[in-house]
Structure 1
Amino acid sequence: MTSPHRSAARIQIGTTLRRMREEAGVPRERVGEVLHCTLTKVSNIENAISGIKQAELEKLLDLYGADDETREDLFALNSDAHRRRPKSKIGGPIPPWLRRILDVEAIATEALYSSFELIPAVLQTEYYTRALMAGVGLSGEVLEKNLYLRMERQALLTERQPPLKLWAVISEPAFRANIGGPEIMRDQLKHVLAMTELDNVVVQVMPQGAGAHALTGTTLTLFRLPNKMPSLVSVDTPFGDHFEDGVNHVEKAGRWFDHTRAKALGVEESRELLTRITEETG
């Protein structure tokens, strides 16, 4: 039997609704009562097998005590899931689109990451992240809230069972960027080296002078999801992450990542280079 199509928007809605239900302490049976539906349908909505009508979504957001910003974001996203219209971006201390990204990441089984200039969020230290956020103008309560969410993501590699599998290809300039100064950068490098000791974390370095590759200039994450959900590609932009779920785009991103990691240094060579950069930093 062919699996039903699950758009990027539908997956984000389902994962977000599941998180909100769990945070509110609402059992699935209560959701079934509110929507007048079976537990199977509740599960199908949260696993993106079934879509959700706007009226049903409104009932659940009322049940979970959602704020106005989250409501507006999910209503717009649900319209996109049904009609594929361009959706608006909503601002605020913690943008709803960012929460949706975290919800997708939280259920992912594997993340394939490539970047020329950034260490992935799940490998960042607090002070490295703080320096990055301050560099783009965040401060005060907004910075602290975003920092808290970023730090929570590290638990996916170490505390979740089973843990997230991460394969990251990061260009050498990212490790020489001096984000926050030599001391912060050195601690960040040590942290990456320590995390590569985990069985579920692989880091390869694309050395300077390696030339162009398939993902040059792109910060991209390919998420593999459970329950036969299709993979999603997240591309980092100045306006937030943009998800792609088209089969052709996902397959092409997978091929590009394979070509990129084949061109990078091997795992042990990468560790040796990172060790040298750490010793040189400061």
Structure 2
Amino acid sequence: MFQKQTGNKEDRMVARTRELNPFGSARDLYGKELRRHRENAGMSLDRLSEVVNYSTTHLHGVETAERLPLPPLSSKIDAAFGTGGLFEGLWEIIRREQFPDRYRRYMELEAQASLIQVYCSQLVLGLVQTADYAYAVLRSGSPRDAVEKIDEKLAARIERQDILKRPVPPHLWLILDEAVLRRPVDGPEVMKAQLDHVLSVAQRPDVVVQVLPFASGAHPAMGGSLTILTLANGTEAAYMEGSHTGHLEEDAEAVRGFRLSYDLIKASALPPDESTAVIKTAMEDYARCASPT
């Protein structure tokens, strides 16, 4: 038998509050700390909603670790409670938790890199993906995930692109296999916009974009994508990624072998100006496909 709900919306939310495990995840710790600071301040969820301009439902989801505290919520909570960056710091940990274990050390090194050199075999690099393209990639890779989960992954990916928006961003050397240009992810309009964004990024003085044409034949990284990260102290790391696998290599001798592979790919790629022409040709083909007949 169904029982009639009584009380206001916030009362019903409190009744559904689940037990958090702050030692199990940063997401739970964030929720517990938010609830603690809010209650210590004598503030209701409705009142906090007015202060930070987020819905009561969303804030309840964050407190119960059922929703991600996506930016700029954390900075607003720090300002509301005077917590001096506590919640922004917790968000950084949560953000890393959204990625599988094999990516986390890579992300730490990527954040420290002064030079990022990437060969993409099938997809545009995540750091330069448009939101529409990224959503299509994430959806195809996780077809069983709920829309909310895909949205969370998308937000985390787009935020990661802030690396290229720093006052002193890392230098980016991007080599795209011709297959990347010709694989129509989510249709011609999305692809045309994505390639246009790649060309826009390529205009930056700290970015080089090349295309590895089909005509170049066999090369050392035909099994997947390859990234070489160079830190400010000259230390290098290599990351090899397939469709469902990833391997980070930090041993200097092994990295030298991957560095050679990347250099050989670079030598076979088209010069930047010719690469731009190839990308524009692909864009024109997508534009024709998108035009009504």
| TM-score bin, normalised by smaller chain | 0.5 to 0.7
Q: Match of 2:103?
A: 98
- Report the AA paired with residue 238 of structure 2: V
Deviation at 1:232, TM superposition (A): 1.0
Aligned to 2:36: none
Instruction: Please report the TM-score for the alignment, with normalisation by the length of structure 2.
Output: 0.62
1:152-196 Cα shifts (integer Å, max 9, x gaps): 122222x21310111111111111100011110110010001110
1:183 counterpart SS class: helix
Distance 1:178 1:245 in 2: 34
Secondary structure of 2:168's match? coil
Task: Name 2:151's counterpart in structure 1.
Answer: 144
RMSD: 2.7
Q: Which has the larger radius of gyration?
A: 2
Letter in 1 for 2:206: N
Q: Assess if the C-alpha contact under 8 Å between 2:239 and 2:248 holds in 1.
A: yes
Residue number in structure 2 paired with 1:6: none
- Partner SS state of residue 209, structure 1: helix
Give the distance between the partners of 2:194 and 2:132, measured in 1 at CA.
Answer: 8
Over the matched positions of the two proteins, sequence identity in percent amounts to 29
Structure 1 residues 139 and 222: CA distance shift in structure 2, 3 A: farther
- Secondary structure at 1:189's aligned position in 2? helix
Residue 229 of structure 1 and its aligned partner are, at CA, apart by 6.3
Q: Secondary structure at the match of 2:214?
A: coil
Cα gap change, 1:214/1:187 in structure 2, threshold over 3 Å: closer, same or farther? same
Q: Does 1:270 align with 2:282?
A: no
CA distance in 2, matches of 1:232, 1:218: 17
Contact kept? 1:98, 1:240, Cα under 8 Å: no
Contact 1:94–1:142 (Cα < 8 Å) also in 2: no
Q: 2:170 aligns with which of 155, 164, 171?
A: 164
How many residue pairs align between the two structures?
198
Deviates further, 122-131 or 238-247: 238-247
What is the Cα deviation at residue 94 of structure 1?
4.1
* Structure 2 letter corresponding to 1:212: A
Task: Determine the structure 2 residue equivalent to 1:153.
Answer: 160
Structure with the bigger RCO (C-alpha within 8 Å, sep 6+) is 1
* Residue 181 in structure 1 maps to residue 187 in structure 2: yes
Change (3 A) 1:229 1:209: closer
Structure 1 residues 187 and 262: alpha-carbon distance in aligned structure 2, compared to 1, 3 A threshold: same
Cα distance in 2 for residues equivalent to 1:114 and 1:125: 18
TM-score, structure 1 normalization: 0.64
CA shift, 1:237, in A, is: 3.2
Give matches, 1:19-58, under 5 Å: none
Give a deviation string over 1:219-249, Cα, whole Å, max 9, x none. Answer: 11111112x2621111113445321111121
What residue number does 1:207 align with? 213
2:136 alignment partner in structure 1: 131
Are 1:93 and 1:142, in contact at CA under 8 Å, matched by a contact in 2? no
| Deviation at residue 271 of structure 1 after TM alignment | 0.3
Aligned partners of 1:149, 1:195: CA distance in 2, in Å?
Answer: 20
Distance 2:267 2:98 in 1: 39
Distance 1:169 1:185 in 2: 17
Q: 1:258 aligns with which of 228, 239, 263?
A: 263
Residue 125 of structure 1 and its aligned partner are, at CA, apart by 0.5
